[in-house]
């Protein structure tokens, strides 16, 4: 992936003068979803932040963080929030249709083929390899999303992130319980830090 430009991370892109058309949103999200083996987040970030510069890295992180706390799949929430931000309700529908439509059609076809040929050993090995690549892509986007925090040397945000990771990933506490505790603490810490004199 191309590195974030420092200007993109600091200055918000001006999309108010020429927001993308509904067709552009549909095609962009269709490309993301068709490239998204193992998850669309990697390609969504690349398309929105790096390629089209519709959001800065910080804006993408903040929007994706919001979508984590809404019911439903995170990437679908991101699609609706992003599409509506650029083009209102039609933009949300166009982005969602691009995200879901082409892969849904492919999955119907693949489901029929897998039902017929799923027991073939070579196919099982291919799917195992695809799973490994998907995990690598997910780790790559996690590190890319952490870059703004490291650039700002935001120790508190990194500490909160580490505590949440340990609580869910290692200690195996229930996700809703961790979020109920972590969200108010994160908001309170952010509010307190921003009120301090520079």
Cβ burial 62-96 (10 Å sphere, 16+ → b, else e):
ebbeebeeeeeebbbbbbbbbbbbbbeeebbbbbb
Say which DSSP state 118 is in: T
Residue 38 confidence (pLDDT): 59
pLDDT in tens, 12-43: 445 545 788 999 999 999 999 888 765 788 78
The list of the chain residues with pLDDT below 70 reads 1-17, 37-38, 198
User: Are 25 and 52 spatial neighbours (Cβ–Cβ below 8 Å)?
Assistant: no
Residue 192's alpha-carbon distances to 60, 100, 156, in angstroms, are 23, 40, 11
This prediction has a pTM of 0.58
User: How far is it, in rounded angstroms, from Cα 112 to Cα 171?
Assistant: 40
Residue 89 confidence (pLDDT): 94
13: closest CA among 21, 3, 2, 5?
Answer: 5
Residue 3 confidence (pLDDT): 46
């Amino acid at each position: 992936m191309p590195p974030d430009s420092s200007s993109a991370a600091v200055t918000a892109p001006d999309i108010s003068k020429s927001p993308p058309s509904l067709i552009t949103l549909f095609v962009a999200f269709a490309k993301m979803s068709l490239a998204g083996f193992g998850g669309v987040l990697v390609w969504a970030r690349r398309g929105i932040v790096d390629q089209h510069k519709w959001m800065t890295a910080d804006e993408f992180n903040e929007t994706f963080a919001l979508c984590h706390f809404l019911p439903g799949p995170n990437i679908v929430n991101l699609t609706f929030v992003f599409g509506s931000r650029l083009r209102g309700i039609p933009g949300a529908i166009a982005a969602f249709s691009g995200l879901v439509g082409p892969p849904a059609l492919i999955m119907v076809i693949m489901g029929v083929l897998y039902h017929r040929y799923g027991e073939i050993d070579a196919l099982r090995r291919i799917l195992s390899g695809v799973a490994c690549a998907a995990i690598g892509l997910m780790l790559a986007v996690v590190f890319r999303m952490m870059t703004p925090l490291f650039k700002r040397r935001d120790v508190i945000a990194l500490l909160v992130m580490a505590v949440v990771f340990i609580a869910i990933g290692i200690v195996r506490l229930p996700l809703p319980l961790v979020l109920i505790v972590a969200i108010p603490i994160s908001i309170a810490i952010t509010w307190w830090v921003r009120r301090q004199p520079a």
